[in-house]
């Protein structure tokens, strides 16, 4: 099914609040750097050109739903990125690792026994020296949004 003519670009201007059942008709897979922008051009996973013109400051997360001007519902997916993951079963050691990464303003994705961040051999060495096991992988990255994200605080 074609949603636009080949000579026009699909425009996305709205992020939806997913309240109730909504079935996306397309996917847009983006790395974190693009998901932090509100205005850019990209391609749907099908290859169709799309332009995003969202309200300034709009960040996108995996699973967010967007609506194009023609009514097409698009699901945002996090693209796989090169990550390092530092793991431990010691909660205090994990907290220390998160502290040191946060002190360097490194975006982190925190789980029960591990923390992931963009691959960086200097950080890897630092966390190994603390006693964590560090591995490299390519996976979707959904870092913490910060304490003020849900309080309406904007810079």
pLDDT digits (tens, 9 = 90+) for 110-140: 999 999 999 999 999 999 999 999 999 999 9
User: What is the mean pLDDT of the segment spanning 40-65?
Assistant: 94
| Structural tokens at position 70 | 């023609």
Where are the domain boundaries for CATH 3.30.70.790 in the chain? 80-140
Q: Which CATH superfamily is domain 80-140 in?
A: UreE, C-terminal domain (3.30.70.790)
What is the three-class DSSP state of 110? strand
Q: What is the pTM (predicted TM-score) of this model? A: 0.82
> How confident is the prediction for the chain on average, in pLDDT?
89
CA–CA separation, 75 and 65 (whole Å): 5
Q: What confidence tier does 152 reach under pLDDT thresholds 50, 70, 90?
A: very low
At the fourth CATH level, which superfamily is domain 10-78? Answer: Urease metallochaperone UreE, N-terminal domain (2.60.260.20)
Q: Per the structure block, which two tokens stand in for 124?
A: 């890897």
How far is residue 18's CA from residue 21's CA, in Å, rounded to a whole number?
7
Confidence band, pLDDT 50/70/90 cuts, at residue 21:
confident
Q: Do 104 and 124 form a contact (C-beta atoms < 8 A)? A: no
Cα Dmax for the chain: 57
User: CATH 2.60.260.20 occupies which residues in the chain?
Assistant: 10-78
């Amino acid at each position: 099914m074609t949603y636009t003519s080949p000579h026009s670009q699909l425009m996305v201007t709205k992020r939806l609040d997913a309240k109730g059942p909504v079935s996306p008709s397309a996917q847009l897979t983006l790395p974190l750097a693009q998901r932090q922008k509100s205005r850019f051009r990209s391609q749907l996973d099908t290859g169709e050109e799309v332009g995003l013109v969202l309200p300034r400051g709009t960040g996108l997360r995996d699973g967010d739903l967007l609506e194009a001007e023609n009514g097409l519902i698009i699901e945002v997916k996090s693209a796989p990125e090169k990550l390092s993951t530092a793991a431990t079963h010691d909660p205090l050691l994990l907290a220390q690792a998160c502290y040191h990464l946060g002190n360097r303003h490194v975006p982190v994705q925190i789980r029960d026994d591990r923390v992931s961040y963009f691959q960086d051999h200097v950080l890897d060495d630092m966390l190994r020296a603390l006693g964590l096991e560090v591995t490299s992988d390519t996976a979707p990255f959904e870092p913490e949004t910060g304490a003020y994200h849900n309080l309406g605080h904007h810079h």
